[in-house]
A and B are shown apart, each in its own frame.
Chain A
Amino acid sequence: MNKTVKSLLAATMIALITTASHAADKIKIATDATFPPFESIDSSGKLVGYDVELMQAVCDAVKLDCDIFNAAWDGMIPGLIDGKYDALISQLTVTEKRRQILAFSDIYDHPIFRFVAKRGASFEFTPEGLAGKTIAVQTGTPMDAYITSHYPKAIIKRYDTGSSPYLELTAGRADLHISYQAQIIHGFLNSDSGKGFELVGPELTGKDAKEFGEGVAVAVNKKNSELISQINKGLATLRGNGQLAALNKKYFGE
């Protein structure tokens, strides 16, 4: 890179940093609001969902001034690494690969992953059995990694958001979709458009395939160990005073 470009970049960076520092008082937490019931936007434009409530409760518990907002999935992890966001809460699965670049809070949930398909359709869940079948996934998710490595003969369709695969499933463009079981049930099967569809195949967790990771946690920049310990403190408080259990009951009836 030559000098002019470098100095231009430097000037831009300085401008960006100074603008950013004005809003730096709040903890900036991003979520991809296309994933009900964990994170979505309601009809009044407000962020709602399990993760959103949990994060707010954590912030309240340790008196952090948090600003939770919607961000595009494809820029979230790079945005965290670059310092655009302070933390991410978006049903982020803790995987070995992500641990290399991100830091995680304590795990707050152990999701089960399932396939969903048209009621009555039968599948054989082997690499041969799913050969030629169209599977819709959200790009860059554990589900994407799992399908890519375990079902190489399937046709994989990748989407930017967590909700587009359901459009494809109802349109009949995809035979299968794989996601978090709770999201499939509460975000799709329980809605009008989910009528005529059902969960299929095995219940999958991190024990079945390493792509599914250890569980879900809040992601934080590696350099920000102070924030991790505060979030962990908040999570422990919610576990202790029953707030986490109440939240689970509210959303999943568990």
Chain B
Amino acid sequence: MNWDIIVENLGLYAAGAKLTLLLTVVSLALSFFIAVPLALARNSPSPLLRYPVFVYTLIFRGTPLLVQLFLIYFGLAQFELVRTSIVWPWLSSPLVCVLIAFVMNTTAYSTEIFAGGLRHIPFGEVEAARAYGMSPLTRARRILIPAMLTRSLPLYGNETIMMLQATSLASTVTLLEITGVARNITLTYYVQFEPYATAAMIYLVFTFILVGLFQLVERRWAGYLEHRVG
């Protein structure tokens, strides 16, 4: 065992951990705000709203994230039209491509999770809101969205953990997040166990933090659901 190599490169791991956190937080934050309205649209009575969202989630849940990332990063770059367009300065950056892929992917899953939560709201709650004379917007803001989110919490917590682990794919397009750092060390020092074991430990710590956060959130906002079960 040669843990000195790891100690020598702790600075690299710190930088990698920072990038992993950035990728996770930015992807989840952006996708959350897109997924909430999409979940409402997914359950909309209007087929014009419902079907496009369904097709989108079907495509992005039906293909592997790695393939989506390669299509965006390597695939789009093949077209002259893309390379000469005004968006190329952004699309040529691996960070932007990775974020696009991650946001599109996790939004698809989050949308389905939230939409599922929405379908499980007892109809009485919606009816009561109507009886109070709430407008559709007020109803969504006060009743539907909070009830949908609290019911989705356990599943959504899982999705955030999956997103955290999925950020390791960013290393395939040159980004040095935790996995990228570990791989670089294996290639420089020719040891395999210690670099990846260290990477795994960091992911584990991050996951524990995420799990803890979600437990807090559930206790704070979804406590009322507990009572009902009990």
A interface with B by C-beta (< 8 Å): 73-75, 77-78, 81-82, 101, 139-140, 157-160, 167, 170-173
A74 and B174 form a contact (CB under 8 A) = no
Contact residues in A for B74 (Cβ distance below 8 Å): 167, 171
A173 and B190 form a contact (CB under 8 A) = no
B186 and A74 form a contact (CB under 8 A) = yes
Q: Of the candidates A73, A81, A82, A140, which one forms a contact with B188 in the assembled complex, judged by CB atoms under 8 Å apart?
A: A140
- Does B187 sit at the interface, judged by CB under 8 A? yes
A78 and B186 form a contact (CB under 8 A) = yes
7 intermolecular pairs with C-beta atoms under 8 Å apart: A74-B183, A74-B187, A78-B186, A101-B190, A158-B184, A170-B78, A173-B92
Contact residues in A for B92 (Cβ distance below 8 Å): 171-173
Q: Other than A78-B190, A139-B184, A171-B74, give 8 A-B pairs with Cβ distance below 8 A.
A: A74-B186, A74-B187, A78-B186, A159-B174, A170-B77, A172-B77, A172-B92, A173-B77
B83 and A171 form a contact (CB under 8 A) = yes
The digit string for B67-88, where 1 denotes a CB below 8 A from any CB of A, is: 0000000100110000100001
B interface with A by C-beta (< 8 Å): 74, 77-78, 83, 88, 92, 172, 174, 183-184, 186-188, 190-192
Contact residues in A for B186 (Cβ distance below 8 Å): 74-75, 78
Contact residues in B for A173 (Cβ distance below 8 Å): 77, 92
Contact residues in A for B184 (Cβ distance below 8 Å): 139-140, 158
Taking CB as reference atom, which chain A residue is nearest B77? A171
A158 and B174 form a contact (CB under 8 A) = yes
A77, A157, A170, A171, most chain B CB atoms within 10 A: A171
- Complex CA gap A78/B183 in Å reads 12
B183 and A139 form a contact (CB under 8 A) = yes
Contact residues in B for A74 (Cβ distance below 8 Å): 183, 186-187
Taking CB as reference atom, which chain B residue is nearest A78? B192
- Complex CA gap A172/B84 in Å reads 10
Q: Of the candidates A81, A139, A160, A167, which one forms a contact with B190 in the assembled complex, judged by CB atoms under 8 Å apart?
A: A81
B172 and A160 form a contact (CB under 8 A) = yes
- Complex CA gap A73/B183 in Å reads 11
Determine how close the nearest CB of chain B comes to the CB of A137; give it in whole angstroms. 10
Contact residues in A for B83 (Cβ distance below 8 Å): 171-172
A77 and B190 form a contact (CB under 8 A) = yes
Taking CB as reference atom, which chain A residue is nearest B180? A158
Taking CB as reference atom, which chain B residue is nearest A141? B187
Q: Of the candidates B78, B174, B187, which one forms a contact with A140 in the assembled complex, judged by CB atoms under 8 Å apart?
A: B187
Determine how close the nearest CB of chain A comes to the CB of B62; give it in whole angstroms. 25
B188 and A171 form a contact (CB under 8 A) = no
Determine how close the nearest CB of chain B comes to the CB of A164; give it in whole angstroms. 8
B77 and A167 form a contact (CB under 8 A) = yes
- Complex CA gap A171/B172 in Å reads 16
B183 and A160 form a contact (CB under 8 A) = yes
- Complex CA gap A139/B182 in Å reads 12
- Complex CA gap A82/B191 in Å reads 10
Contact residues in B for A159 (Cβ distance below 8 Å): 174
Contact residues in B for A73 (Cβ distance below 8 Å): 187
- Complex CA gap A77/B191 in Å reads 9
Contact residues in A for B190 (Cβ distance below 8 Å): 77-78, 81, 101
Taking CB as reference atom, which chain A residue is nearest B193? A78
Determine how close the nearest CB of chain A comes to the CB of B117; give it in whole angstroms. 40
Determine how close the nearest CB of chain B comes to the CB of A147; give it in whole angstroms. 14
Taking CB as reference atom, which chain B residue is nearest A79? B192
Contact residues in B for A82 (Cβ distance below 8 Å): 192
Contact residues in A for B191 (Cβ distance below 8 Å): 78
Contact residues in B for A140 (Cβ distance below 8 Å): 184, 187-188
A-B pairs, top 10 by smallest CB distance, nearest first, are A140-B187, A171-B77, A78-B192, A77-B190, A157-B174, A139-B187, A78-B190, A173-B92, A74-B187, A167-B74
- Complex CA gap A140/B190 in Å reads 9
Determine how close the nearest CB of chain A comes to the CB of B172; give it in whole angstroms. 7
- Complex CA gap A74/B174 in Å reads 14
